[in-house]
Structure 1
Amino acid sequence: MEFRYLGNSGFKISEVSYGNWVTHGSQVEADAAKLCVNAALDAGITTFDTADVYANTAAETILGDALAGQRRESLEIFTKVYNPTGPKGHNDTGLSRKHIMEAINGSLKRLQTDYVDLYQAHRYDYETPLEETMQAFADVVRQGKALYIGVSEWTADQIRAGHKLATDLGFQLISNQPQYSMVYRVIEAEVVPTSQELGISQVVFSPIAQGVLTGKYQPGQPPPAGSRATDESGGANFIQRLMKDDLLERVQQLKPIASDEGLSMAQLAVAWVLTNDNVASAITGGSRPEQVTDNAAAAGKKLSAETLQRIDEVLGDAVERDPARTAQSSPKTRLA
Structure 2
Amino acid sequence: MEYRRLGKAGLKVSALSLGSWVTFGKQVDMSDAKTLLKTAYDSGINFFDNAEGYEAGESEKIMGAAISHLGLARDTFAVSSKVFWGGDHKMQMGLSAKHVRDACDAALLRLKVDYLDLYYCHRPDIDTPIEETVRAMHNLIQQGKVTYWGTSEWSAQQITEAHAVARAHHLTPPTMEQPQYNLLHRDKVEGEFLPIYENFGMGLTVWSPLASGILTGKYNDGIPDDSRLTLPGYEWLRDLWTSEDGKLKLEKVRQLSALANDIGVSITHLSLAWCLKNPNVSTVILGASKLSQLEDNLQSIEALEKLTPDVMEKIESILGNKPAAPERFGQ
Change (3 A) 1:249 1:60: same
Output aligned runs, 1:200-211, within 5 Å. 200-211=202-213
Change (3 A) 1:166 1:298: farther
Which residue in 1 is equivalent to 2:75? Answer: 73
Shift of 1:310: 1.0
Which residue in 2 is equivalent to 1:174? Answer: 175
Which residue in 2 is equivalent to 1:315? Answer: 319
Shift of 1:30: 2.6
Output aligned runs, 1:176-215, within 5 Å. 176-187=177-188, 188-215=190-217
Alpha carbons 2:206, 2:284 under 8 Å: kept: yes
Q: Determine whether 1:305 maps to 2:309.
A: yes
**Given residue 312 of structure 1, which amino acid in structure 2 is its aligned partner?**
E
**Given residue 227 of structure 1, which amino acid in structure 2 is its aligned partner?**
S
Alpha carbons 1:273, 1:279 under 8 Å: kept: yes
Change (3 A) 1:320 1:217: farther
Which residue in 1 is equivalent to 2:265? Answer: 263
Shift of 1:265: 1.6
Cα distance in structure 1, aligned partners of 2:114 and 2:261: 45
**Given residue 251 of structure 2, which amino acid in structure 1 is its aligned partner?**
E
Which segments of 5 or more consecutive residues in structure 2 lack a partner in the other structure? 326-331
Query: Which range is displaced more, 160-169 or 147-156?
Result: 160-169
Alpha carbons 1:183, 1:320 under 8 Å: kept: no
Output aligned runs, 1:286-301, within 5 Å. 286-299=288-301, 301=304
Shift of 1:158: 0.4
Cα distance in structure 1, aligned partners of 2:44 and 2:234: 27
Which residue in 1 is equivalent to 2:328? Answer: none
**TM-score normalised by length of structure 1:** 0.89
**Given residue 283 of structure 1, which amino acid in structure 2 is its aligned partner?**
I
3-state DSSP of counterpart to 1:91: helix
3-state DSSP of counterpart to 2:51: coil
Alpha carbons 2:6, 2:13 under 8 Å: kept: yes
Cα distance in structure 2, aligned partners of 1:261 and 1:108: 45
**Backbone CA RMSD of aligned residues:** 1.9
**Given residue 153 of structure 1, which amino acid in structure 2 is its aligned partner?**
E
Alpha carbons 1:160, 1:194 under 8 Å: kept: yes
Change (3 A) 1:166 1:260: farther
Cα distance in structure 1, aligned partners of 2:178 and 2:238: 18
Which residue in 1 is equivalent to 2:237? Answer: 238
Alpha carbons 1:23, 1:287 under 8 Å: kept: yes
Higher helix fraction (1 or 2): 2
Cα distance in structure 2, aligned partners of 1:196 and 1:280: 15
Which residue in 1 is equivalent to 2:130? Answer: 130
Cα distance in structure 2, aligned partners of 1:82 and 1:161: 19
Shift of 1:197: 2.2
Shift of 1:196: 3.0
**TM-score normalised by length of structure 2:** 0.90
Sequence identity of aligned pairs in percent? 38
Change (3 A) 1:293 1:169: farther
Shift of 1:299: 2.7
Change (3 A) 1:171 1:231: same
Q: Whose relative contact order is higher, 1 or 2, with alpha carbons under 8 Å and at least 6 apart?
A: 1
Change (3 A) 1:123 1:60: same
Q: How many residues align?
A: 317
Cα distance in structure 2, aligned partners of 1:39 and 1:128: 40
Residues 88-144 of structure 1 show CA distances to partners (whole Å, capped at 9, x for unaligned) of 101001110110111100000000000111111001110011111111000000000
Residues 273-313 of structure 1 show CA distances to partners (whole Å, capped at 9, x for unaligned) of 11111111111101101111221222362421111111121
Shift of 1:215: 0.4
Shift of 1:236: 4.3
Cα distance in structure 2, aligned partners of 1:311 and 1:242: 21
Cα distance in structure 2, aligned partners of 1:47 and 1:261: 30
Which residue in 2 is equivalent to 1:20? Answer: 20
Shift of 1:321: 5.4
Which residue in 2 is equivalent to 1:281? Answer: 283
Which segments of 5 or more consecutive residues in structure 1 lack a partner in the other structure? 324-336
Output aligned runs, 1:208-227, within 5 Å. 208-219=210-221, 221=222, 223-227=223-227
**Given residue 241 of structure 2, which amino acid in structure 1 is its aligned partner?**
L
Alpha carbons 1:122, 1:153 under 8 Å: kept: yes
Cα distance in structure 2, aligned partners of 1:50 and 1:239: 23
Cα distance in structure 1, aligned partners of 2:198 and 2:208: 21
Cα distance in structure 2, aligned partners of 1:89 and 1:201: 33
